[in-house]
Amino acid sequence: MKWNYCYIIFFLAVSNSIFSQSKLNQFLKPSDSLSKSRRNLVVISQTTLATTTLVGLNQLWYADYERSGFKTINDSGEWLQMDKLGHVFSSYQLGRLGASSLNWAGVSKKDQLIYGSTLGLGFLTAVEVMDGFSEEWGFSWTDMAANVAGTGLYAGQELLWQEQRILLKYSFHRTDLAQQRPDKLGNGFSEEFLKDYNGQTYWLSANLNSFFKSESIPNWLNLAFGYGADGMLTGEANDPLFLEQKRMRQYYLSLDIDLSRIRTNSNILKTIFDVFNVIKIPFPTLELNDNGRLKWHYIYF
């Protein structure tokens, strides 16, 4: 049995060594200078993906609802603002993706901020305009403010610190409330992951070493502050059909890991870490709700 383990370890070590020198590893390595071929690939792929997504939304989603003249709505009080944090998160992550893609192509830092970090804001603004022409919804100024905040969180840190010291992350756990309103909160894990605000938590994950510069603190260790809500069956608190709602806000304090700060020479692993860095790593967590009650979670998702 011990020899089997040795063979496995040896195989993994050799495979990693070979894989780290592969064409894929080289392809994923950011360019040291502007690569026009990579830049064109990024621009074409992002433009195509955004256009296809918007056309798909128009044909598959908005087509099921009546069109209207352009109108605005005030939905700032819905879902205890969890939907607004979703806009902040989406804008931040799309902006981070846009800037990272241009960094891979060797584009200058200035252009990364101008054309990359605003990717999320531009895309979500187009979606918001489509909402404005739908009878079911409307253009929301608070959604737009959230979109701007997400872009600002990314771009502001790059301008101030030239790095992302505070990450915006997401975590999710299933709740019983989705079973009561599967049409609104999702039917099954994949839908609930996106629709059930009761199980979602948004985190500001701050890297400790970036602020305190201490050799005793691991470079990847973060302190995370979370916000969530529970007891919501509808967006509005006073919905006459769901007066039994016991809505409450929840605040969390936990630890986290910034996967992008784990040292590795493999560009493949760096890419994998970058993808999964949007998710808050489960840790013991302290919760305080707006009823003044403290609760300890040994592991919180």
pTM of the model: 0.90
- Provide the token pair at 72: 């605005």
Residue among 156, 142, 129 nearest 71 (CA):
129
Distance between CA 177 and CA 196 in Å, rounded?
8
Sign, CA dihedral 141-147-150-156, equals negative
Q: For the ranges 21-30, 139-148, 225-234, which has the lowest average pLDDT?
A: 21-30
- Residue carrying the six token digits 């064109």: 40
Q: Has residue 20 been placed in a domain?
A: no
Final residue before a domain boundary, out of 132, 163, 194? 163
- The tally of domains found in the chain comes to 2
Q: Could you tell me if 144 and 258 lie in one domain?
A: no
Distance between CA 89 and CA 172 in Å, rounded?
14
Please give the residue that has the higher pLDDT: either 19 or 210. 210
Per-residue pLDDT, averaged over 287-294, amounts to 93
Instruction: Reply yes or no on whether the pLDDT at 10 is more than 50.
Output: no
Final residue before a domain boundary, out of 147, 163, 179? 163
271 burial level (CB within 10 Å; 0-12, 13-18, 19+): middle
Q: Could you tell me if 261 and 133 lie in one domain?
A: no
pLDDT of residue 57: 81
Q: Could you tell me if 91 and 185 lie in one domain?
A: no
Q: Has residue 258 been placed in a domain?
A: yes
Q: Has residue 250 been placed in a domain?
A: yes
Final residue before a domain boundary, out of 110, 145, 163? 163
Q: Could you tell me if 169 and 293 lie in one domain?
A: yes
Q: Could you tell me if 172 and 287 lie in one domain?
A: yes
pLDDT of residue 22: 66
Q: Which domain covers residue 288, as residue numbers? A: 165-301
Per-residue pLDDT, averaged over 227-238, amounts to 92
Q: Has residue 40 been placed in a domain?
A: yes
